[in-house]
């Protein structure tokens, strides 16, 4: 031993008769250590020492398993090596082995913490990382009247307090540590009383469906409201109950409580949402958790779809085969099994590979950081989950930015303080109501779940729309816009819409020119088929030609969820598509004698192609609608039809007539003077359009079928040629 570090007392006691060494490691025994330590404490006041004497306690974690795996002989060798490491790092200090795999060191080195760190690392490497270690320190100051034996106990208490901690390996004893230790003992001793006396309460935290903003679930989280220690959070008691193998008592109580609450609510005729609860690894050690759950669920007659089980990755990796069996039992009975805290462990992806979960809850750490990298990880996780048919929930949603981001990337559900902290059931429900959150209806859960599986992360402009067909429309609008991705929001903005809801409003008003066409298009879907085949359509909105690829996602009652991929052909750099559109437009014009737009606000008309009356090129404006109309009537229209024509084109009533018409346009048949100097039957068809808020009429004229049917022509001639004087030759 190095005399510099050797306490005086130990030098004298070397020869005392009780001296004995640990036969295995050669370190001193606990008995000897206590003797030396006590002498040291007694003599320090006399010497007015400045530094504290520290009692350092090391405990090996996982040594028992090492013994089982490698045999006792190897285990002994390992202990000797640990002793060697400690001797090397604390030369000259009293070091003892305290039963099995515990070690004590007495030290007053100033660089004690660095030495402890070194010992921690070296011992860790000795066991190839399979044997870990924790360390507790009690610092006895010169005016501390502690006995050596008590100081050793305190060091051990400090060490035990971090036994299961993954981020600390050394703990210095303090009043708070002592309090914690007492509290842990209290919790372990009082769980039965806590359950019996109602100190344990189940709190519920809302889960929100991103696409609808409705309440779609709750998570049950426990709180222990103790008469002695006050309000305790799960972090205070879950690990104690796990260590003392009593967690099953708590979790059985939670399942019972959830079922009772759901039954109470259903009996009172109130809407309920599914509730998830947390299972712990130790639950499976101590009881048949599936049986406990299913028993409560049947006694209270709760649909299994209302109960979800949350399991963390650490539970699975602890005992893969058994837990896999348990997961399957729950799933095949109809319970959803969710993976909690996804991404918080080391092997989350591996676990996903081997087990199927209905939902993964993305660990809140990713949103807490909210850096570019963590956002990318969350977005990729959501994309990946959808590819393997797993739903997604993000935990720890605290800000509107989190909500916007999760909505954009298509994360289905959200849970966090932004929507509500865990609270007693009624309080949680009340909070949701006060925020105006609707409750997901039972029958609609599948509808929204299917929508939630759509991958929204694409550069294409996609929007998700709920279409209510005839039956449902009587009670509301036809199109409800649920979602637009960033590309689609940009497209809407380029059309002059300020938001998706703006578009929704436009599409649903009856004078939206395309509404008739869209509804007609919707009628072309065969909703009874499975899967319903996607269809494509073109519409013109505010001067842009849009191609719409409409893919039905799911139907519920008379509602159909549609994934619409919109492509602005007008802006398309793909010349081919432009040409196609141009060809269609030109062919369309060929079918008409004329297409004229009538602009009320500017009081002018504009022919879109040349005709016999407007011999000007398209684009020429004719101002003063009333005069032009009279002029046209007097020059082109058959005298017998003029009165009808003027009534038909009456600006005071035409809009109203269009709005009321079932086919959203008005039709009239008039004879017009042709280039051959004869009158020909023409069909005049007028639609209403809005362009950038301006009311426009689209006036089309083309040949009537009457012209090619002599019988019909005679019939109409007789009907309208009342004034023989006005008779003119008609073809």
Q: Is 649 in the site for Mg ion (CB under 5 A)?
A: no
| Alpha carbons 333 and 262: distance in angstroms, whole number | 19
Residue 536: both structure tokens together: 């494509």
Peptide bond into 531 cis (omega under 30): yes
Q: Which is nearer to ligand C2E, 202 or 478 (CB)?
A: 202
Q: Which does 221 bind (CB under 5 to 8 A by kind): ligand C2E, Mg ion, none?
A: ligand C2E
E strand or H helix that includes residue 488: helix 486-494
The answer to whether 398 and 377 are in contact (CB under 8 A) is no
Interface residues for Mg ion in 529-568 (CB under 5 A)? Answer: none
Q: Which is nearer to ligand C2E, 237 or 545 (CB)?
A: 237
Residue 376, C-beta contacts closer than 8 angstroms, at least 6 positions apart: none
The answer to whether 581 and 589 are in contact (CB under 8 A) is no
Residue, CB closest to ligand C2E: 416
- 449 phi and psi angles, rounded to 5 deg: -60, -40
Residue 113 carries which DSSP code?
A: H
CB of 365 to Mg ion, least distance (A): 10
| Alpha carbons 345 and 650: distance in angstroms, whole number | 75
Residue 530: both structure tokens together: 């499975």
Candidates 39, 226, 256, 340: give the one binding Mg ion (CB under 5 A): 340
Q: Which is nearer to ligand C2E, 7 or 422 (CB)?
A: 422
Q: Is 280 in the site for ligand C2E (CB under 6 A)?
A: yes
Q: Which stretch binds ligand C2E (CB under 6 A): 34-42, 60-68, 412-420, 561-569?
A: 412-420
E strand or H helix that includes residue 399: none
Q: Is 285 in the site for ligand C2E (CB under 6 A)?
A: no
The answer to whether 119 and 95 are in contact (CB under 8 A) is no
Residue 543: both structure tokens together: 């001067």
Strands 694-703 and 594-599: antiparallel
Q: Is 233 in the site for ligand C2E (CB under 6 A)?
A: yes
Candidates 22, 101, 251, 412: give the one binding ligand C2E (CB under 6 A): 251
Q: Is 352 in the site for ligand C2E (CB under 6 A)?
A: no
CB of 119 to ligand C2E, least distance (A): 33
Our CA angle for 18, 21, 27, nearest 5°, is: 135
Q: Which is nearer to ligand C2E, 432 or 468 (CB)?
A: 432
Q: Is 278 in the site for Mg ion (CB under 5 A)?
A: yes
Q: Is 398 in the site for ligand C2E (CB under 6 A)?
A: yes
The answer to whether 102 and 59 are in contact (CB under 8 A) is yes
Interface residues for Mg ion in 383-412 (CB under 5 A)? Answer: 395
Give the total residue count for the chain. Answer: 731
The answer to whether 518 and 539 are in contact (CB under 8 A) is yes
Candidates 294, 326, 341, 611: give the one binding ligand C2E (CB under 6 A): 341
How many binding residues for ligand C2E (CB under 6 A)?
26
Q: Which does 398 bind (CB under 5 to 8 A by kind): ligand C2E, Mg ion, none?
A: ligand C2E
CB of 485 to ligand C2E, least distance (A): 25
| Alpha carbons 397 and 411: distance in angstroms, whole number | 12
Distances (CA, A) of 227 to 190, 193, 220: 11, 11, 22
Q: Is 222 in the site for ligand C2E (CB under 6 A)?
A: yes
Locate tokens 């009172």: which residue? Answer: 268
Work out the burial of residue 34: count CB atoms within 10 Å of its CB; fewer than 13 is exposed, 13-18 middle, 19 or more buried.
Answer: buried
Q: Is 310 in the site for Mg ion (CB under 5 A)?
A: yes
The answer to whether 561 and 540 are in contact (CB under 8 A) is no
Q: Which does 417 bind (CB under 5 to 8 A by kind): Mg ion, ligand C2E, none?
A: ligand C2E
Locate tokens 């967690």: which residue? Answer: 247
Candidates 60, 112, 232, 247: give the one binding ligand C2E (CB under 6 A): 247
Q: Is 231 in the site for ligand C2E (CB under 6 A)?
A: no
CB of 414 to ligand C2E, least distance (A): 9
Q: Is 345 in the site for ligand C2E (CB under 6 A)?
A: no
Q: Is 226 in the site for Mg ion (CB under 5 A)?
A: no
Q: Which stretch binds ligand C2E (CB under 6 A): 20-28, 136-144, 396-404, 473-481?
A: 396-404
CB of 395 to Mg ion, least distance (A): 5
**Beta strand segments in 363-501, E:** 391-395, 413-415, 461-468, 479-484
Candidates 341, 412, 506, 611: give the one binding Mg ion (CB under 5 A): 341
CB of 310 to ligand C2E, least distance (A): 6
Candidates 36, 250, 654, 683: give the one binding ligand C2E (CB under 6 A): 250
Q: Is 326 in the site for ligand C2E (CB under 6 A)?
A: no
Sheet containing 170-172: give its strands across.
95-97, 102-107, 53-61, 132-140, 170-172
Q: Is 340 in the site for ligand C2E (CB under 6 A)?
A: yes
| CA proximity to 326, closest of 312, 337, 313 | 337
Q: Would you give the distance in Å from CA 127 to the centre of its chain?
A: 42
Q: Binding marks (x or -) toward ligand C2E, 259..278, rule CB under 6 A? A: -------------------x
Q: Which does 272 bind (CB under 5 to 8 A by kind): ligand C2E, Mg ion, none?
A: none
Interface residues for ligand C2E in 186-215 (CB under 6 A)? Answer: 205
Q: Which stretch binds ligand C2E (CB under 6 A): 10-18, 245-253, 428-436, 504-512?
A: 245-253
Q: Which is nearer to ligand C2E, 312 or 628 (CB)?
A: 312
| Alpha carbons 167 and 146: distance in angstroms, whole number | 30
Q: Which does 254 bind (CB under 5 to 8 A by kind): Mg ion, ligand C2E, none?
A: ligand C2E
Q: Which residues of 643-675 are buried (b: 16+ CB within 10 A; e: fewer)?
A: eebeebbeeeebbeebeeeeebbbebbbbbbee
Q: Is 416 in the site for ligand C2E (CB under 6 A)?
A: yes
| Alpha carbons 432 and 720: distance in angstroms, whole number | 68
Q: Which is nearer to ligand C2E, 267 or 371 (CB)?
A: 371
Q: Which is nearer to ligand C2E, 363 or 504 (CB)?
A: 363
Interface residues for ligand C2E in 418-447 (CB under 6 A)? Answer: 422
Site residues for ligand C2E per CB under 6 A: 205, 221-222, 233-235, 238, 247, 250-251, 254, 278-280, 310, 340-341, 364, 395-398, 415-417, 422
Binding site for Mg ion (CB under 5 A): 278, 310, 340-341, 395
């Amino acid at each position: 031993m190095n005399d510099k570090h050797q306490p005086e007392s130990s030098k004298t006691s070397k020869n005392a008769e009780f001296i004995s060494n640990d036969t295995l490691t050669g370190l001193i025994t606990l008995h000897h250590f206590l003797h030396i330590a006590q002498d040291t404490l007694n003599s320090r006041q006399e010497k007015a020492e400045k530094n504290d004497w520290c009692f350092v306690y090391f405990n090996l974690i996982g040594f028992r398993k090492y013994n089982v795996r490698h045999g006792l002989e190897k285990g002994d060798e390992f202990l000797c090596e640990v002793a060697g490491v400690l001797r090397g790092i604390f030369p000259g200090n009293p070091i003892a082995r305290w039963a099995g795999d515990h070690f004590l060191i007495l030290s007053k080195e100033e660089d004690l913490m660095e030495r402890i760190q070194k010992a921690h690392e070296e011992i860790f490497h000795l066991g190839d990382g399979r044997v870990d270690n924790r360390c507790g320190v009690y610092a006895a100051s010169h005016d501390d009247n502690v006995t050596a034996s008590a100081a050793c106990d305190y060091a051990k208490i400090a060490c035990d307090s971090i036994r299961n901690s993954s981020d600390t390996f050394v703990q210095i004893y303090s009043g708070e540590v002592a309090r914690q230790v007492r509290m842990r003992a209290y919790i372990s001793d009082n769980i039965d009383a806590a359950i019996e006396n109602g100190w344990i309460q189940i709190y519920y935290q809302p889960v929100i469906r991103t696409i609808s903003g409705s309440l779609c679930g709750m998570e049950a989280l426990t709180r222990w409201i103790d008469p002695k220690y006050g309000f305790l959070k799960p972090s205070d008691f879950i690990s104690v109950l796990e260590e003392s193998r009593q967690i099953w008592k708590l979790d059985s109580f939670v399942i019972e409580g959830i079922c009772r609450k759901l039954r109470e609510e259903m009996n009172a005729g109130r809407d309920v949402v599914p509730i998830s609860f947390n299972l712990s690894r130790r639950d499976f050690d101590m009881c048949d958790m599936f049986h406990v759950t299913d028993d409560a669920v049947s006694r209270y007659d709760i649909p299994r779809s209302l109960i979800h089980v949350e399991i963390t990755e650490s539970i699975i990796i602890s005992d893969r085969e058994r837990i896999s069996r348990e997961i399957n039992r729950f799933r095949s009975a109809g319970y959803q099994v969710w993976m909690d805290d996804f991404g918080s462990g080391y092997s989350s992806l591996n676990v996903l590979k081997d087990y199927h979960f209905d939902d993964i809850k993305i660990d809140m750490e990713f949103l807490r950081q909210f850096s570019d990298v963590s956002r990318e990880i969350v977005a990729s996780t959501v994309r990946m989950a959808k590819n393997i048919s797993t739903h997604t929930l993000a935990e720890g949603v605290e800000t509107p930015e989190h909500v916007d981001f999760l909505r954009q990337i298509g994360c289905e559900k959200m849970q966090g303080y932004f929507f509500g902290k865990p609270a007693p059931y009624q309080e949680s429900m009340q909070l949701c109501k006060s925020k105006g959150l609707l409750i997901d209806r039972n029958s609609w859960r599948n509808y929204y779940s299917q929508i939630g599986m759509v991958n929204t992360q694409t550069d294409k402009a996609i929007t998700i729309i709920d279409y209510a067909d005839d039956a449902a429309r009587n009670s509301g609008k036809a199109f409800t816009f649920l979602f637009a991705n960033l590309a689609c929001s940009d497209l809407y903005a380029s059309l002059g819409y300020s938001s998706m809801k703006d578009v929704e409003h436009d599409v649903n008003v009856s004078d939206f020119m395309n509404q008739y066409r869209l509804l007609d298009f919707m009628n072309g879907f065969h909703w009874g088929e499975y899967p319903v085949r996607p269809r494509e359509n073109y519409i013109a909105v505010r001067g842009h030609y849009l191609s719409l690829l409409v893919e039905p996602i799911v139907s519920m009652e008379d509602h159909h969820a549609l994934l619409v991929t919109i492509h602005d052909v007008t802006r398309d750099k793909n010349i081919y598509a432009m040409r196609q559109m141009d060809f269609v437009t030109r062919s369309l014009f060929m079918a008409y004698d004329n297409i004229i737009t009538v602009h009320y606000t500017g009081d002018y008309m504009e022919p879109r192609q040349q005709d016999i009356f407007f011999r000007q090129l398209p684009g020429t404006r004719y101002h003063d609608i009333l005069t032009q109309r009279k002029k046209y009537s007097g020059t082109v229209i058959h005298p017998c039809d003029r009165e009808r024509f003027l009534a038909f084109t009456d600006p005071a009533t035409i809009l109203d007539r269009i709005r009321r018409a079932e086919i959203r346009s008005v039709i009239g048949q008039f004879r017009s003077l042709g280039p051959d100097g004869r009158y020909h039957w023409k069909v005049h068809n007028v639609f209403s359009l809005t362009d950038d808020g301006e009311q426009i009429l689209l006036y089309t004229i083309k040949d009537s079928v009457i012209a090619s049917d002599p019988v019909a022509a005679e019939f109409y001639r007789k009907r309208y040629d009342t004034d023989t004087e006005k008779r003119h030759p008609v073809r």
